[in-house]
């Protein structure tokens, strides 16, 4: 089962993803994409996420090569939870723009080939105004295109708003 969980900041998407990973009854591999670049607030977020995760979950920190990580950890008796795709996009667009197209293709290919339980978490950012800056517009375009592609590849797509899940595709298991 491949799932995509979308929502705004503090919408409840992480809590939902973690609950679904736990409910899978499989060992969980948590793939974290955040990078602490000396930002105290981001470091606090990362620490809060780490403290909240069950100690038996294995964590892999990978800011760029998600496709490779997914395929290397694919197993029918394991659940991978990726948090979060919009941070991953930001990492690539800001720090490794030369790898953006290659890594995006690699991720989509890995999702297509993935055989285990996969939960992808991402911020839905396309519900607001079009920003003025070129990089911001490129980010919104890239995240919207990625979400559309992943929605076609996933069995289940959920949008979270105010802590409530709205099923967009697929049925609850």
Q: Is the pLDDT of residue 91 over 70?
A: yes
Q: Is the pLDDT of residue 132 over 90?
A: no
pLDDT, average across residues 92-98: 94
Q: Which runs of consecutive H residues, i.e. helices, occur in 24-133?
A: 40-52, 66-72, 85-95, 100-113
pLDDT, average across residues 148-159: 97
pTM: 0.93
Q: Is the pLDDT of residue 173 over 80?
A: no
Confidence of residue 50 (pLDDT cuts 50, 70, 90): confident
22 given a catalytic annotation: no
Q: Which class for 93: exposed (0-12), middle (13-18), buried (19 or more C-beta within 10 A)?
A: middle
pLDDT, average across residues 157-164: 96
Domain boundaries, the chain: 2-169
Q: Is the pLDDT of residue 25 over 80?
A: yes
Answer whether the bond into residue 161 is a cis peptide, omega within 30°: no
How confident is the model at residue 17, as a pLDDT?
A: 97
Overall CATH class of domain 2-169: alpha beta
* Identified catalytic residue from 22, 49, 52, 147: 49
């Amino acid at each position: 089962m491949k799932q995509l969980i979308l929502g705004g900041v503090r919408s409840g998407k992480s809590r939902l993803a973690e609950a679904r990973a736990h409910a899978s009854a499989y060992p969980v591999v948590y793939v974290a994409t955040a990078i602490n670049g000396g930002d105290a607030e981001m470091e606090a977020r990362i620490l809060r996420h780490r403290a909240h995760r069950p100690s038996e979950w294995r964590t892999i920190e990978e800011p760029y090569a998600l496709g490779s990580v997914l395929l290397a950890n694919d197993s029918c008796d394991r659940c991978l939870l990726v948090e979060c795709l919009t941070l991953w996009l930001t990492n690539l667009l800001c720090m490794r723009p030369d790898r953006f197209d290659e890594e995006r293709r690699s991720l989509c290919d890995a999702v297509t080939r993935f055989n285990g339980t996969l939960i992808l978490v991402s911020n839905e950012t396309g519900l607001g105004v079009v920003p003025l800056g070129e990089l911001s517009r490129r980010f919104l375009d890239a995240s919207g295109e990625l979400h559309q592609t992943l929605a076609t590849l996933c069995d289940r797509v959920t949008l979270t708003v105010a802590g409530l899940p709205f099923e967009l595709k697929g049925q609850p298991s």
